A = this chain, B = another copy of it.
Amino acid sequence: MLSIGLLGCGRIGRVHADSIATNPRAHLARVYDPFEQAASAVGARFGAQTTTDVDDIIGDPGIDAVVIASPTPTHIDLLTAAVEAGKAVLCEKPIDLDVALVDACAQRIDDLAGRVMLGFNRRFDPSFADIHARVAAGQLGPLEQLTIISRDPAPPPAAYVATSGGLFKDMTIHDFDMARFFLGDVVEVTATGSNLVSPEIEAAGDIDGAVVVLRGVNGAVATIINSRRAAFGYDQRLEAFGELGMLRAENQLPTSVTFSGATSTQVAPPYYNFFLDRYTPAYRAELDAFITGVEAGTGFSPSFADGRAALVLAQAADESVRTGATVAVPGPDLDAPVTP
Asked if A291 lies at the interface with its beta carbon under 8 angstroms from chain B, I say no
In the complex, which residues of chain B have a beta carbon less than 8 angstroms from the beta carbon of A233?
A: 265
Asked if A184 lies at the interface with its beta carbon under 8 angstroms from chain B, I say no
In the complex, which residues of chain B have a beta carbon less than 8 angstroms from the beta carbon of A249?
A: 255-257
Selected contact of A262 from candidates B209, B227, B244, B253, CB within 8 Å? B244
Q: Which of A104-157 contact B (CB under 8 A)?
A: 126-127, 130-131, 134, 139, 142, 144-145, 147, 149, 151
How many chain A residues touch B (Cβ–Cβ < 8 Å)? 70
The answer on a CB contact under 8 Å between A209 and B256 is no
With known contacts A126-B255, A130-B257, A271–B265 Cβ distance under 8 A: yes
Selected contact of A324 from candidates B126, B147, B219, B325, CB within 8 Å? B325
Compute how far the CA of A130 lies from the CA of B253 in the bound complex, rounded to whole angstroms.
13
In the complex, which residues of chain B have a beta carbon less than 8 angstroms from the beta carbon of A245?
A: 231-232, 259-262
The answer on a CB contact under 8 Å between A220 and B246 is no
Of all chain B residues, the one with the shortest Cβ separation from A21 is: B24
The answer on a CB contact under 8 Å between B262 and A231 is yes
Q: Mark A165-194, 1 if CB is under 8 A from B, else 0.
A: 000000000000000000000000010101
Of all chain B residues, the one with the shortest Cβ separation from A196 is: B144
Asked if A289 lies at the interface with its beta carbon under 8 angstroms from chain B, I say no
Asked if A270 lies at the interface with its beta carbon under 8 angstroms from chain B, I say yes
The answer on a CB contact under 8 Å between A265 and B221 is no
The answer on a CB contact under 8 Å between A230 and B246 is yes
Of all chain B residues, the one with the shortest Cβ separation from A250 is: B256
Contacts A/B (CB < 8 Å), 23 sampled: A127-B256, A131-B257, A134-B257, A144-B227, A151-B241, A190-B324, A192-B221, A197-B243, A209-B221, A211-B221, A229-B243, A230-B246, A231-B243, A232-B264, A245-B259, A247-B257, A248-B259, A249-B255, A265-B269, A266-B266, A266-B268, A324-B325, A325-B326
Interface residues of A (CB under 8 A from B): 22, 24, 45, 126-127, 130-131, 134, 139, 142, 144-145, 147, 149, 151, 190, 192, 194-197, 209, 211, 213, 215, 219-221, 223, 225, 227, 229-233, 235, 241, 243-271, 324-326
